[in-house]
Amino acid sequence: MSDGLPPLREVVRAHGLDARKSLGQNFLFDLNLTGRIARASGSLPGVTVIEVGPGPGGLTRALLAEGAAKVIAVERDPRCLPALAEIAAAYPGRLDVVEADALQVDLAALAGNGPARIVANLPYNVGTALLVQWLSGSEWPPFWDSLTLMFQREVAERIVAGPSRRADYGRLGVLCGWRTTARILFDVPPAAFTPPPKVTSSVVRLEPRPSPLPCRITSLEAVTQAAFGQRRKMLRQSLKGLGVDPMRILSDAGLPATARAEEIPVEGFVALANAFDAARET
Ligand code: SAM
């Protein structure tokens, strides 16, 4: 990649960007790898990308070099801003840097009217919280048309899990499976990062389902929380805390009372959420 910018190791040294664990900072310096992640989000020319946590800018540079029309990069660590300003100068008008906590900022407003893609090597400490936020909006389809995200492999497995991967299947798998199609694209070994994390990471891509099965998200959360909160128990037992008759909502949802949470597919939980709503209303 010939963007005329210095190698990332040099950038980090010049700006004193020693990685901070508290900010989930594990940087990628290999521009071949960041290029691969950028391309995994699909063809980029003409596209607006929101990147969370650009850090010294390895993935940012790849997204721009691959042709993204605009990258809006949200970074919490002010120490990274001078390095990102150098990238913005190399790609005039194509990089906006926003100093903010991505959990607090309104990304939909930043994205403007057109469709946006979210691409990020997420900080591990807030990655799941950000994903849940992006999947829980009241507007659906959402403001983003795909998410291409790096997670710890173990979290990636929970994102794509269904009843056929029981050990990994839980509330996150139900939420992701309800509103999106999700798949793991490839793994990234610890040695690719500076400093190296303890575990393997994976790049995951999620695309919104245009019409998820109708149900109220708060009710889906309530039933999955009760069911997976006691995942070894049968549903007739684990759903007792919901304040409605578990046998009634299981029967209305067409589910066996002796089943356990990890055996129930997403459609079953949606039916259960709707039965829960109906039982509360009568
Ligand atoms: N994208 C860079 C790369 O691939 O080398 C850095 C990735 S590093 C895993 C995560 C980045 O997210 C860090 O730059 C960190 O400062 C930033 N970060 C951490 N928490 C954040 C938050 N709540 N909002 C925005 N950025 C955050």
- The pTM (predicted TM-score) of the whole model is 0.96
Q: Domain spans of the chain?
A: 8-208, 217-280
Instruction: Calculate how far, in angstroms, residue 88's C-alpha sits from the geometric centre of ligand 1.
Output: 18
Q: What value does the mean pLDDT take over residues 35-58? A: 97
* Mutation pick for ligand 1 pocket among 29, 50, 75, 199 (CB with most ligand atoms within 8 Å): 75
pLDDT band at 1 (very low <50, low <70, confident <90, very high): low
Q: How far lies 220's CA from each of 5, 25, 63, 225, in Å?
A: 48, 33, 36, 8
> Which CATH number is correct for 8-208, 3.40.50.150, 1.10.10.10, 2.30.60.10, 3.40.109.10?
3.40.50.150
Question: Pocket around ligand 1: residues whose beta carbon is below 6 Å from it?
Answer: 23-28, 52-55, 58-59, 74-77, 80, 101-103, 121, 123, 126
pLDDT band at 2 (very low <50, low <70, confident <90, very high): low
Q: Which two tokens stand for residue 235?
A: 């549903």
> pLDDT for 189-238, tens place per residue?
999 999 999 999 999 999 999 999 999 999 999 999 999 999 999 999 99
Following DSSP, what letter does each residue of 55-99 receive, concatenated? TTSHHHHHHHHTTBSEEEEEES-GGGHHHHHHHHHHSTTTEEEEE
Instruction: Calculate how far, in angstroms, residue 153's C-alpha sits from the geometric centre of ligand 1.
Output: 18
- Does CATH place domain 217-280 in 1.10.8.100? yes
